[in-house]
Chain A
């Protein structure tokens, strides 16, 4: 286990240096939610009414979660890039803990996400979003957000190891952009037709977005929603547990002997 901690820390350092040397993806993933907040908040916001909340206050937690779900894309892109460039093979010939590379990658990603949340929330404050609940609940909201990001990155790491090709991963990753559209990240699900509402409410993004809104005190839990949304904190924790229980072992196993 100490081997994993040591190697994982070395890999975490590697990921942070990578992002510093080549910040393109980082800049994109950080500026995108800010521009979406301004665009959605003022363009769509004028036409949307959310029961019991101001639209921009509703949108800030939604965008936080949508951005966290982007961890699927970054995780997939980075691990596919490593395989494609042969870096994965070099790590595999080293006497390194098999789990160290994905663990380091996921940890670095969560650190960067945590740092990126600060400027986004400052813009949120500027457009009228507030923490309307206690500081403990708000801290819980941020921890839940990072846990969800962690689960999403592991999902992405596994998919990237399967894809093994950075271009394909980039294209597939672009498609993950659609996932928040079918959730309560940007809109309330109550107005959707019945079957679509069910699909959207079983999207993990909806549960986590609703949980954040509840914990920040931005919007009430909607009436008559599916179980993960009706019990958003428990639902979010359950979703994260499922994603991690499935994708951590799969990704580590794939990393350890990806050769067929």
Chain B
């Protein structure tokens, strides 16, 4: 069986003056799945989304969206995608209803008024529908923005940080909508700052760093790359050294000691290291245990481990600057 791809890019490059925002982005989003694009600020996520939604032209490389060439068949691509960018992109001088009706007309959706009402209802916006959107709350504007992207059910939906700055209720509404859409067969490319969001929604993760995809895999696969974090707490300094010795023999990894808490931790990819096994081994070695825990890695661990130190470069030119340019 061959996989068909909603998004398939090869070697996409984009340069803004001296800044190489993308340096050969290879990305594959299988049809009907959600791909979460994670990466530090300035990694090129927004540039990637703007390229893949026809807003920017690549300097090199190629991409197919829903089977159509991004550059040569831009009009066909636009008919098949929905886009919710990082900033709301609705007309604040129009009411919510007028916005959706306009986009429905432009999308050639029959019964534009009915479709607008349906989406207003689905996103809890009916009550405010006839007030100019400039007076709406941030959360409501984001929801209207997403609704505008769904006017004609897109084959591929691009969401660039769709829930940044939203209250939990709006966030939940947007998550539900994304799940519902994928249930109906829409493919989604999502960038997010919230690793929890990627963990919940994404089938696959693409970790982007310095304009390239650094790692790909399911959340579970990426977590397996990092390994499980084991930590034990003992009563005193002597027991700490003994415990470290046991952990070192057990996992073959170098334990790290936290002398202030009398804690020793180790990261292991060895699946045979289970909590009962850990406790029995330490007990047999005569180490007096106060506490022991195994913590599966979070995407935060994955993110920090795999993107190395580049998280610190918050001021690096990239996502924010290029949009203002």
Q: Measuring CB to CB, which residues of chain A are less than 8 angstroms from any residue of chain B? A: 7, 10, 13-14, 17-18, 21-22, 82, 85-87, 89-96, 257, 259-260
Stretch among B30-38, B79-87, B234-242 lining the A interface: B79-87
Cβ contact within 8 Å between B102 and A13: yes
In terms of DSSP, what is the predominant structure of the interface of chain A?
A: helix
Q: Which residues of A contact B54 (CB under 8 A)?
A: 92-93
- B→A interface (CB under 8 Å): 16, 50, 53-57, 75, 78-79, 81, 83, 85, 87-95, 98, 102-103, 105-108, 132, 134, 148, 325
Contacts of B75 in A (CB 8 A): 95
Contact partner of B107 (CB less than 8 A), chosen from A82, A94, A257, is A94
Residue of chain A at shortest CB distance from B53? A93
User: Does the CB pair A21–B132 fall under 8 Å?
Assistant: yes
Residues of B within 8 Å of A82, CB to CB, are 91
Q: A21-B94, A95-B79 are in contact. Are A90 and B89 (CB under 8 A)?
A: yes
With A85-B89, A87-B91: A93-B83 Cβ-Cβ less than 8 Å: yes
The A-B contact count (CB < 8 A) is: 71
Give the residues in chain A near B106, CB-CB below 8 Å. 7, 10, 91, 94-96
Point out the residue from B98, B132, B148 that lies within 8 Å of A90, measured CB to CB: B148
Taken together as a complex, chains A and B put the C-alpha atoms of A90 and B107 apart, in Å, by: 12
Q: Are A18 and B55 in contact (CB under 8 A)?
A: no
Answer whether A14 and B91 are a contact pair too, CB < 8 Å, given A93-B54, A94-B107, A96-B106: yes
Indicate if the CB atoms of A85 and B91 lie closer than 8 Å.
yes
* Distance A85 CA – B141 CA, assembled complex (angstroms): 12
Residues A90 and B102 in contact in the complex (CB < 8 Å), given A95-B79, A95-B107, A259-B57: no
Q: How far is the CB of A92 from chain B (nearest CB, A)?
A: 6
With known contacts A94-B106, A94-B107, A14–B94 Cβ distance under 8 A:
yes
Q: Determine the distance from Cα of A165 to Cα of B287 in the docked complex, in whole angstroms.
A: 67
Q: How far is the CA of A87 from the CA of B92 in the complex (A)?
A: 9
Q: Contact check, B102 vs A14: say whether CB atoms are below 8 A apart.
A: yes
- Alpha-carbon separation in the docked complex, A10 to B107 (Å): 11
Contact B53 A18 (CB under 8 A): no
- Complex formed: what's the CA distance from A7 to B78 in Å? 15
- Within 8 Å by CB of A87, from B16, B90, B105, B132, lies B90
Given contact pairs A21-B132, A259-B57, A89 touches B85 in the complex (Cβ within 8 A): yes
Q: Shortest Cβ distance from B106 into chain A, in angstroms? A: 5
16 contacts between A and B (CB under 8 A): A14-B91, A14-B102, A21-B94, A21-B132, A82-B91, A85-B87, A87-B89, A87-B91, A89-B89, A92-B54, A92-B55, A93-B53, A94-B78, A94-B107, A95-B107, A259-B55
